Chain A
């Protein structure tokens, strides 16, 4: 299995608080992705990175920001969490585009 670690695995927080999720990889892959998964919607891309300090928006980026200061770490931040951001968040990595994406175990985030 690809070396991907997401932390925390579970988090409960209150509306309006900032939240940061971390994705750490040991594969030295160039591409990293953050998805959210909600019932009835499948996987939706939030942000992605194609290198250190190179990031771009996905289809559901509003309310989220990301940073990648090292190859191995990709952080997802909810600046001011809202209940609509309650979801399961998956990080994925790939060597390059058109290569398989390997997913982390996910973070279950509940915002009350």
Chain B
């Protein structure tokens, strides 16, 4: 049930773009995205609910395709501060889950000057 994130790691130069994907084998109700810097707590970025909406946060946006059970995180014109590990957390589309998330293993993003 754990979602699969790809790529596992990516190295960018400042100003370059990146896409991080999160795929599930189960029908999804929502997808959460978090960023974690080394030695720190994960920090919430955005939530996407089923309906195919797209959200944005500064130069970071995301989409959610419920038919494909997939979400993608788009980082444009990357900055040094974007470095960290990005996690998607998925909530299944069935009752009783209480909104619990199952997290992927993460994508390590490194932005170089």
Binding site for B on A (CB under 8 A): 31, 33, 35, 40-45, 48, 50, 56, 58-59, 90, 94, 96-106
A90's contact among B41, B49, B100, by CB below 8 Å, is which? B41
**Chain A's nearest CB lies how many Å from the CB of B31?**
11
Within B1-43, the residues touching A (CB, 8 Å) are 2, 29-30, 32, 34, 40-43
Known: A98-B47, A98-B91, A103-B43. A45 touches B99 (CB 8 A): no
Instruction: Specify the chain A residue showing the minimal Cβ separation from B39.
Output: A106
Residues of B within 8 A of A97 (CB): 91, 97-100
Given contacts A44-B103, A98-B47, contact A104 B98 (CB under 8 A): no
Do B106 and A42 have beta carbons less than 8 Å apart? yes
Binding site for A on B (CB under 8 A): 2, 29-30, 32, 34, 40-44, 47, 49, 87, 89, 91, 97-106
Complex Cα gap A56–B106 (Å): 25
Residues of A near B106 (CB, < 8 A) are 42
Closest Cβ–Cβ distance, residue A98 to chain B (whole Å): 5
Say yes or no: A106 contacts B91, CB within 8 Å: no
Structural contact, B99 and A42, CB atoms closer than 8 A: no
Q: Which residue of B lies closest to A59 (CB)?
A: B102
Hey, which chain A residues are within 8 Å of B105, CB to CB?
40-42
Judging by beta carbons under 8 Å apart, are B99 and A98 in contact?
yes
